Amino acid sequence: MPEDRHATDPHATDRHADDRPVALDEYPVHQAPLSMKHHVSGDRNVYDRCIFHVFDHHGRALLIAGLGVYPNAGIIDAYATLRTGDRLHAVRASDALGEDRTDLAVGPLRITVDEPLKTLRLHGDPDPDDPDGLSFDLTWTGDFPAVWEPHHTQRRGDRLTLEGRRFVQAGRCTGTIRAGGEEFTVTAGEWTGTRDRSWGVRPLPGEDPGRAEEFRPEGFHWLWMPMRFDDRFLMVVTQEDADGYRTLNEALLVREGRRDIQLGWPRTDITYRPGTRHPERAVVHLADPAGKPLEVGVEILASSPLAVGAGYPPAADWQHGTWQGRGWTDRRVYDLSDPAAHPLAAYGVTDHAARFTLEGRTGYGIFEHGSFGRHDPSGFADHTSVAP
Protein backbone atom coordinates (compact mmCIF):
# COMPACT_ATOMS: atom_id res chain seq x y z
CA MET A 1 0.00 0.00 0.00
CA PRO A 2 1.46 3.42 -0.94
CA GLU A 3 2.39 5.68 1.97
CA ASP A 4 -0.08 8.47 2.81
CA ARG A 5 2.35 11.41 2.99
CA HIS A 6 -0.40 13.72 4.24
CA ALA A 7 -0.44 11.74 7.46
CA THR A 8 3.27 12.28 8.06
CA ASP A 9 4.10 15.64 6.45
CA PRO A 10 2.51 18.59 8.29
CA HIS A 11 3.47 20.94 5.43
CA ALA A 12 1.81 18.89 2.71
CA THR A 13 -1.06 20.57 0.87
CA ASP A 14 -4.50 19.07 1.37
CA ARG A 15 -6.24 19.34 -2.00
CA HIS A 16 -9.63 19.17 -0.27
CA ALA A 17 -8.94 22.00 2.21
CA ASP A 18 -10.78 24.58 0.09
CA ASP A 19 -13.95 22.52 0.38
CA ARG A 20 -14.04 22.66 4.18
CA PRO A 21 -15.62 25.32 6.40
CA VAL A 22 -13.49 27.59 8.56
CA ALA A 23 -14.13 28.70 12.14
CA LEU A 24 -15.88 31.95 11.19
CA ASP A 25 -18.50 29.95 9.26
CA GLU A 26 -19.98 28.97 12.65
CA TYR A 27 -21.20 32.54 13.18
CA PRO A 28 -24.11 34.34 11.44
CA VAL A 29 -21.87 36.92 9.74
CA HIS A 30 -22.07 35.84 6.10
CA GLN A 31 -22.73 38.46 3.42
CA ALA A 32 -22.73 36.07 0.46
CA PRO A 33 -23.37 32.34 -0.14
CA LEU A 34 -19.66 31.60 0.33
CA SER A 35 -17.43 30.41 3.12
CA MET A 36 -15.93 33.26 5.14
CA LYS A 37 -12.61 32.05 3.76
CA HIS A 38 -13.52 33.52 0.37
CA HIS A 39 -14.25 37.06 -0.74
CA VAL A 40 -17.36 37.83 -2.75
CA SER A 41 -15.16 39.45 -5.42
CA GLY A 42 -12.64 37.58 -7.53
CA ASP A 43 -10.54 40.73 -8.03
CA ARG A 44 -6.86 40.01 -7.23
CA ASN A 45 -6.64 43.44 -5.57
CA VAL A 46 -9.07 42.66 -2.74
CA TYR A 47 -7.57 43.68 0.62
CA ASP A 48 -8.45 44.02 4.32
CA ARG A 49 -6.00 45.81 6.59
CA CYS A 50 -5.32 48.25 9.40
CA ILE A 51 -2.84 50.91 10.44
CA PHE A 52 -1.96 52.20 13.93
CA HIS A 53 -0.10 55.36 14.93
CA VAL A 54 1.47 55.65 18.38
CA PHE A 55 3.49 58.78 19.20
CA ASP A 56 4.61 60.95 22.08
CA HIS A 57 3.62 64.59 22.45
CA HIS A 58 7.15 65.96 22.06
CA GLY A 59 8.07 64.51 18.66
CA ARG A 60 10.67 62.07 20.00
CA ALA A 61 9.08 58.88 18.63
CA LEU A 62 6.48 57.90 16.04
CA LEU A 63 5.52 54.24 15.71
CA ILE A 64 3.45 53.13 12.72
CA ALA A 65 2.26 49.54 12.54
CA GLY A 66 -0.17 47.64 10.36
CA LEU A 67 -1.33 44.27 9.12
CA GLY A 68 -3.01 43.32 5.86
CA VAL A 69 -4.77 40.33 4.36
CA TYR A 70 -5.08 39.79 0.59
CA PRO A 71 -7.55 36.90 0.23
CA ASN A 72 -7.34 36.38 -3.52
CA ALA A 73 -3.55 36.61 -3.54
CA GLY A 74 -3.31 34.24 -0.55
CA ILE A 75 -1.02 36.59 1.37
CA ILE A 76 -0.86 38.05 4.87
CA ASP A 77 1.73 40.68 5.75
CA ALA A 78 2.55 43.19 8.45
CA TYR A 79 5.02 45.95 9.22
CA ALA A 80 6.15 48.32 11.95
CA THR A 81 8.36 51.41 11.73
CA LEU A 82 9.68 53.66 14.46
CA ARG A 83 11.00 57.16 13.71
CA THR A 84 13.41 58.44 16.35
CA GLY A 85 15.66 61.34 15.37
CA ASP A 86 16.95 60.64 11.87
CA ARG A 87 16.68 56.86 12.23
CA LEU A 88 13.76 54.79 10.99
CA HIS A 89 13.70 51.27 12.43
CA ALA A 90 11.60 48.86 10.36
CA VAL A 91 10.31 45.30 10.67
CA ARG A 92 8.33 43.65 7.84
CA ALA A 93 6.90 40.13 7.64
CA SER A 94 4.93 38.16 5.07
CA ASP A 95 3.53 34.63 4.75
CA ALA A 96 0.90 32.49 3.14
CA LEU A 97 -2.60 33.33 4.36
CA GLY A 98 -4.03 30.66 6.65
CA GLU A 99 -7.63 29.69 7.34
CA ASP A 100 -8.03 31.37 10.74
CA ARG A 101 -8.85 34.99 9.90
CA THR A 102 -9.00 35.85 13.61
CA ASP A 103 -5.28 35.04 13.96
CA LEU A 104 -3.80 38.47 13.27
CA ALA A 105 -0.17 37.45 13.31
CA VAL A 106 2.68 37.07 10.87
CA GLY A 107 6.31 36.52 11.83
CA PRO A 108 7.23 38.60 14.89
CA LEU A 109 4.24 40.96 14.50
CA ARG A 110 0.72 40.37 15.84
CA ILE A 111 -2.46 42.15 16.87
CA THR A 112 -4.80 40.84 19.57
CA VAL A 113 -8.39 42.11 19.76
CA ASP A 114 -9.31 42.09 23.46
CA GLU A 115 -12.56 44.03 23.02
CA PRO A 116 -13.69 44.93 19.49
CA LEU A 117 -13.73 48.67 18.79
CA LYS A 118 -12.28 49.35 22.24
CA THR A 119 -9.10 47.54 23.30
CA LEU A 120 -6.38 45.97 21.14
CA ARG A 121 -2.83 44.84 21.84
CA LEU A 122 0.10 45.38 19.50
CA HIS A 123 3.11 43.08 19.75
CA GLY A 124 6.46 43.17 18.01
CA ASP A 125 8.75 40.42 19.23
CA PRO A 126 12.45 41.26 19.63
CA ASP A 127 15.02 39.98 17.17
CA PRO A 128 16.99 37.22 18.93
CA ASP A 129 20.04 38.14 16.85
CA ASP A 130 19.85 41.88 17.51
CA PRO A 131 18.87 43.11 20.97
CA ASP A 132 18.84 46.69 19.65
CA GLY A 133 16.22 45.91 16.99
CA LEU A 134 12.67 47.26 17.08
CA SER A 135 10.27 45.56 19.49
CA PHE A 136 7.14 46.68 21.31
CA ASP A 137 4.32 45.55 23.58
CA LEU A 138 1.43 48.01 23.64
CA THR A 139 -2.19 48.22 24.69
CA TRP A 140 -4.29 50.50 22.46
CA THR A 141 -7.55 51.78 24.00
CA GLY A 142 -10.18 53.77 22.12
CA ASP A 143 -11.39 56.91 23.90
CA PHE A 144 -14.04 57.79 21.32
CA PRO A 145 -16.39 55.74 19.13
CA ALA A 146 -15.02 54.54 15.81
CA VAL A 147 -16.58 56.53 12.97
CA TRP A 148 -16.97 55.86 9.27
CA GLU A 149 -15.07 57.76 6.66
CA PRO A 150 -16.80 58.42 3.34
CA HIS A 151 -17.12 55.53 0.90
CA HIS A 152 -14.02 55.96 -1.24
CA THR A 153 -13.85 55.15 -4.96
CA GLN A 154 -11.36 55.98 -7.71
CA ARG A 155 -11.43 55.19 -11.42
CA ARG A 156 -9.04 55.60 -14.31
CA GLY A 157 -11.23 55.78 -17.33
CA ASP A 158 -13.71 52.94 -17.01
CA ARG A 159 -11.51 50.93 -14.69
CA LEU A 160 -12.23 50.83 -10.96
CA THR A 161 -8.85 51.15 -9.25
CA LEU A 162 -9.97 51.67 -5.65
CA GLU A 163 -13.12 51.04 -3.67
CA GLY A 164 -12.68 51.11 0.07
CA ARG A 165 -14.63 51.35 3.27
CA ARG A 166 -12.83 52.72 6.33
CA PHE A 167 -13.41 53.58 9.94
CA VAL A 168 -11.12 55.68 12.12
CA GLN A 169 -10.67 55.96 15.88
CA ALA A 170 -8.53 57.83 18.41
CA GLY A 171 -7.39 56.77 21.85
CA ARG A 172 -4.49 56.23 24.22
CA CYS A 173 -1.67 53.74 24.55
CA THR A 174 0.35 52.16 27.31
CA GLY A 175 3.32 49.82 27.19
CA THR A 176 6.90 49.78 25.99
CA ILE A 177 8.79 50.38 22.72
CA ARG A 178 12.46 49.47 22.29
CA ALA A 179 14.86 50.24 19.45
CA GLY A 180 18.44 51.33 18.91
CA GLY A 181 19.38 50.94 22.55
CA GLU A 182 16.52 53.19 23.70
CA GLU A 183 13.43 52.22 25.67
CA PHE A 184 10.29 54.33 25.54
CA THR A 185 7.69 53.96 28.28
CA VAL A 186 4.36 54.71 26.65
CA THR A 187 1.88 56.40 29.00
CA ALA A 188 -1.66 57.57 28.38
CA GLY A 189 -1.03 61.18 29.33
CA GLU A 190 2.06 61.70 27.18
CA TRP A 191 1.28 59.53 24.15
CA THR A 192 -1.63 59.39 21.69
CA GLY A 193 -2.87 56.60 19.44
CA THR A 194 -4.95 56.69 16.26
CA ARG A 195 -6.00 53.87 13.98
CA ASP A 196 -7.71 53.18 10.69
CA ARG A 197 -9.39 49.99 9.42
CA SER A 198 -10.11 49.61 5.73
CA TRP A 199 -11.14 46.94 3.26
CA GLY A 200 -12.25 46.63 -0.33
CA VAL A 201 -10.21 46.81 -3.54
CA ARG A 202 -6.86 48.59 -3.74
CA PRO A 203 -4.13 48.16 -6.37
CA LEU A 204 -1.49 45.53 -5.63
CA PRO A 205 1.90 45.65 -7.36
CA GLY A 206 2.52 43.53 -10.41
CA GLU A 207 -0.66 43.97 -12.40
CA ASP A 208 -0.62 45.23 -15.99
CA PRO A 209 -2.44 48.58 -15.82
CA GLY A 210 -3.53 48.32 -19.45
CA ARG A 211 -5.39 51.24 -20.95
CA ALA A 212 -5.92 52.81 -17.51
CA GLU A 213 -2.46 54.38 -17.92
CA GLU A 214 -3.99 56.68 -20.54
CA PHE A 215 -6.01 58.26 -17.73
CA ARG A 216 -3.20 58.84 -15.23
CA PRO A 217 -4.13 62.01 -13.30
CA GLU A 218 -2.07 65.18 -13.62
CA GLY A 219 -2.10 65.64 -9.88
CA PHE A 220 -3.24 64.24 -6.55
CA HIS A 221 -3.62 66.10 -3.25
CA TRP A 222 -4.48 64.16 -0.07
CA LEU A 223 -5.07 65.11 3.57
CA TRP A 224 -6.16 62.77 6.39
CA MET A 225 -6.29 64.16 9.92
CA PRO A 226 -7.55 62.26 12.98
CA MET A 227 -7.25 64.68 15.93
CA ARG A 228 -7.73 63.67 19.55
CA PHE A 229 -8.59 66.29 22.17
CA ASP A 230 -9.44 65.50 25.79
CA ASP A 231 -13.18 65.87 25.29
CA ARG A 232 -13.62 65.39 21.53
CA PHE A 233 -12.30 63.74 18.39
CA LEU A 234 -12.10 65.59 15.11
CA MET A 235 -11.71 63.85 11.75
CA VAL A 236 -10.92 65.65 8.50
CA VAL A 237 -10.20 63.98 5.17
CA THR A 238 -9.98 65.52 1.69
CA GLN A 239 -8.78 64.43 -1.73
CA GLU A 240 -8.43 66.76 -4.70
CA ASP A 241 -7.54 66.54 -8.37
CA ALA A 242 -5.02 68.77 -10.13
CA ASP A 243 -7.49 71.64 -10.54
CA GLY A 244 -8.68 71.41 -6.92
CA TYR A 245 -11.84 69.45 -7.71
CA ARG A 246 -12.66 67.55 -4.55
CA THR A 247 -13.40 63.83 -4.85
CA LEU A 248 -13.48 63.04 -1.12
CA ASN A 249 -14.59 65.28 1.71
CA GLU A 250 -15.42 64.92 5.39
CA ALA A 251 -15.10 67.00 8.55
CA LEU A 252 -16.67 65.44 11.62
CA LEU A 253 -16.71 66.29 15.32
CA VAL A 254 -17.21 63.26 17.56
CA ARG A 255 -18.07 63.29 21.28
CA GLU A 256 -19.06 60.32 23.43
CA GLY A 257 -22.83 60.05 23.87
CA ARG A 258 -23.69 62.89 21.47
CA ARG A 259 -24.65 63.06 17.85
CA ASP A 260 -21.70 63.64 15.51
CA ILE A 261 -21.50 67.16 14.08
CA GLN A 262 -20.54 67.91 10.49
CA LEU A 263 -18.16 70.84 10.12
CA GLY A 264 -18.66 71.85 6.53
CA TRP A 265 -16.18 72.06 3.70
CA PRO A 266 -12.65 72.01 5.16
CA ARG A 267 -9.99 74.22 3.62
CA THR A 268 -6.36 73.77 4.64
CA ASP A 269 -3.63 76.39 4.27
CA ILE A 270 -0.25 74.62 4.42
CA THR A 271 3.13 76.24 4.98
CA TYR A 272 5.71 74.06 3.28
CA ARG A 273 9.43 73.89 3.94
CA PRO A 274 11.06 75.95 1.16
CA GLY A 275 12.16 73.86 -1.80
CA THR A 276 9.93 70.93 -0.83
CA ARG A 277 6.34 69.79 -0.34
CA HIS A 278 7.07 68.91 3.26
CA PRO A 279 4.56 70.66 5.57
CA GLU A 280 5.87 72.53 8.61
CA ARG A 281 2.56 73.92 9.88
CA ALA A 282 -0.98 74.47 8.67
CA VAL A 283 -4.35 76.01 9.45
CA VAL A 284 -7.55 74.03 8.82
CA HIS A 285 -10.60 76.23 8.24
CA LEU A 286 -13.94 74.68 9.28
CA ALA A 287 -17.42 75.92 10.14
CA ASP A 288 -20.06 74.70 12.60
CA PRO A 289 -23.64 74.01 11.42
CA ALA A 290 -24.59 77.62 12.14
CA GLY A 291 -21.79 78.86 9.91
CA LYS A 292 -19.49 79.99 12.72
CA PRO A 293 -15.87 79.76 11.53
CA LEU A 294 -13.56 77.34 13.34
CA GLU A 295 -9.80 77.25 12.90
CA VAL A 296 -7.53 74.35 13.75
CA GLY A 297 -3.83 75.10 14.06
CA VAL A 298 -1.35 72.37 13.09
CA GLU A 299 2.26 72.05 14.25
CA ILE A 300 4.32 69.17 12.85
CA LEU A 301 6.22 67.20 15.52
CA ALA A 302 7.70 64.19 13.69
CA SER A 303 7.43 62.73 10.19
CA SER A 304 7.56 59.23 8.75
CA PRO A 305 7.35 58.67 4.97
CA LEU A 306 5.20 55.61 4.28
CA ALA A 307 7.26 54.75 1.19
CA VAL A 308 10.26 54.07 3.44
CA GLY A 309 10.00 50.92 5.52
CA ALA A 310 6.21 50.73 5.74
CA GLY A 311 5.57 49.23 2.31
CA TYR A 312 3.30 51.86 0.78
CA PRO A 313 3.80 52.88 -2.88
CA PRO A 314 6.18 53.77 -4.37
CA ALA A 315 8.42 51.85 -1.95
CA ALA A 316 11.32 50.26 -3.82
CA ASP A 317 12.26 47.39 -1.49
CA TRP A 318 8.89 45.93 -0.45
CA GLN A 319 5.20 46.71 -0.97
CA HIS A 320 2.06 45.31 0.62
CA GLY A 321 0.47 42.25 -0.94
CA THR A 322 3.60 40.99 -2.71
CA TRP A 323 4.60 37.36 -2.37
CA GLN A 324 7.92 37.02 -0.55
CA GLY A 325 7.73 33.29 0.11
CA ARG A 326 6.73 31.55 3.31
CA GLY A 327 7.96 32.85 6.64
CA TRP A 328 9.64 35.99 5.29
CA THR A 329 10.89 38.55 7.82
CA ASP A 330 13.01 41.59 7.07
CA ARG A 331 14.54 44.07 9.51
CA ARG A 332 16.50 47.17 8.65
CA VAL A 333 17.35 50.71 9.76
CA TYR A 334 17.07 53.67 7.39
CA ASP A 335 18.96 56.95 7.70
CA LEU A 336 16.50 59.78 7.00
CA SER A 337 19.01 62.62 7.49
CA ASP A 338 19.61 62.86 3.74
CA PRO A 339 16.36 63.12 1.71
CA ALA A 340 18.33 62.46 -1.47
CA ALA A 341 18.99 58.93 -0.22
CA HIS A 342 15.26 58.19 -0.48
CA PRO A 343 14.12 59.93 -3.68
CA LEU A 344 10.84 58.00 -3.93
CA ALA A 345 9.67 59.14 -0.49
CA ALA A 346 8.58 62.50 -1.90
CA TYR A 347 6.17 60.69 -4.25
CA GLY A 348 4.44 58.83 -1.44
CA VAL A 349 2.22 59.84 1.45
CA THR A 350 3.94 60.94 4.68
CA ASP A 351 2.45 60.61 8.15
CA HIS A 352 3.24 63.49 10.49
CA ALA A 353 2.64 63.36 14.24
CA ALA A 354 1.19 66.77 15.03
CA ARG A 355 -0.04 69.09 17.75
CA PHE A 356 -3.45 70.66 17.04
CA THR A 357 -5.11 73.69 18.63
CA LEU A 358 -8.84 74.44 18.55
CA GLU A 359 -10.61 77.18 20.52
CA GLY A 360 -8.11 77.10 23.37
CA ARG A 361 -7.84 73.30 23.41
CA THR A 362 -4.67 71.38 22.60
CA GLY A 363 -4.87 67.97 20.96
CA TYR A 364 -2.66 65.47 19.17
CA GLY A 365 -3.08 63.37 16.08
CA ILE A 366 -1.83 62.61 12.59
CA PHE A 367 -1.46 65.02 9.70
CA GLU A 368 -1.18 62.62 6.77
CA HIS A 369 -0.36 64.39 3.55
CA GLY A 370 0.62 63.67 -0.01
CA SER A 371 0.77 66.14 -2.88
CA PHE A 372 2.03 64.93 -6.25
CA GLY A 373 2.01 66.58 -9.64
CA ARG A 374 -0.05 69.63 -10.45
CA HIS A 375 -2.25 71.20 -7.77
CA ASP A 376 -3.58 74.61 -8.76
CA PRO A 377 -4.81 75.74 -5.29
CA SER A 378 -1.30 75.18 -3.89
CA GLY A 379 0.48 76.76 -6.85
CA PHE A 380 2.19 73.54 -7.93
CA ALA A 381 2.41 73.39 -11.72
CA ASP A 382 3.75 69.85 -12.22
CA HIS A 383 5.67 67.01 -10.54
CA THR A 384 8.81 69.11 -10.26
CA SER A 385 7.12 72.06 -8.52
CA VAL A 386 7.97 72.78 -4.89
CA ALA A 387 7.29 75.54 -2.41
CA PRO A 388 9.30 78.73 -2.92
Percent with pLDDT over 90 in the chain: 85
Is the pLDDT confidence value at 12 over 70?
A: no
pLDDT tens column, 172-196: 999 999 999 999 999 999 999 999 9
- CA 284 to chain CA mean position, Å: 22
Confidence of residue 212 (pLDDT cuts 50, 70, 90): confident
Structure confidence by residue, pLDDT tens digits, 347-381: 999 999 999 999 999 999 999 999 999 999 999 99
Any idea where the domains of the chain sit in the sequence?
46-203+218-378
| pLDDT given at position 214 | 82
Residue 9 scores a pLDDT above 90? no
pLDDT grade for 210, boundaries at 50, 70 and 90: confident
Question: Residue 125, Cβ neighbours under 10 Å: how many?
Answer: 16
Helix, strand or coil for residue 35?
coil
How far is Cα 184 from Cα 287, in angstroms, rounded to an integer?
A: 38
CB 54 within 8 A of CB 193: yes
Of the candidates 65, 40, 39, the one whose C-alpha atom is nearest the C-alpha of residue 54 is: 65
Measured CA to CA, the distance from residue 42 to residue 212 in angstroms comes to: 19
Q: What is the pTM of this model?
A: 0.93
In this prediction, residue 274 has a pLDDT band, given cuts at 50, 70 and 90, of very high
Confidence category of residue 226, pLDDT binned at 50, 70, 90: very high
| Cα gap 11→119, rounded to integer Å | 34
Distance CA 205, CA 73 (A): 11
Beta bridge partners of 285: 267, 295
Q: Are 307 and 315 in contact (CB under 8 A)?
A: yes
What are 304-319's pLDDT values in tens digits?
A: 999 999 999 999 999 9
CATH superfamily of 46-203+218-378: AttH-like domain (2.40.370.10)
Nearest 5°: the CA angle 130, 132, 134 is 95
Could you give the CA distance from residue 331 to residue 310 in angstroms, rounded to a whole number?
Answer: 11
Q: Are 48 and 199 in contact (CB under 8 A)?
A: yes
Q: Is residue 218 predicted with pLDDT exceeding 90? A: yes
SS3 content of the chain, % helix, strand, coil (to 5): 5, 50, 40
Between 281 and 23, whose confidence is greater? 281
Question: Mean pLDDT in the chain?
Answer: 93
Amino acid 18: pLDDT: 60
89-116 pLDDT, tens per residue? 999 999 999 999 999 999 999 999 999 9
Tell me the pLDDT band of 3, cut-offs 50, 70 and 90: very low
Out of 67-71, 206-210, 226-230, 253-257, pick the least confident. Answer: 206-210
CA separation for the pair 330, 286 (Å, rounded): 43
From CA 137, how far away is CA 123, in angstroms rounded?
A: 5
Tally the C-alpha atoms within 13 A of residue 294's C-alpha that lie toward its C-beta. 24
- At residue 1, does pLDDT exceed 50? no
In whole angstroms, what is the distance from residue 207 CA to residue 86 CA? Answer: 34
Question: Looking at residue 71, what is its pLDDT?
Answer: 95
Q: Indicate whether 142 pLDDT > 70.
A: yes
The DSSP bridge partners found for residue 2 are: none
3-state secondary structure of 368: strand
How far is residue 373's CA from residue 229's CA, in Å, rounded to a whole number? Answer: 34
For residues 223 and 230, is the Cβ–Cβ distance under 8 A?
no
Average pLDDT over residues 110-123: 97
Q: Under a CB-based contact definition with an 8 Å cutoff, are residues 261 and 288 in contact?
A: yes
Which tens digit of pLDDT belongs to each residue from 58-74?
999 999 999 999 999 99
**Out of 93-102, 116-125, 206-215, 265-274, least confident range:** 206-215
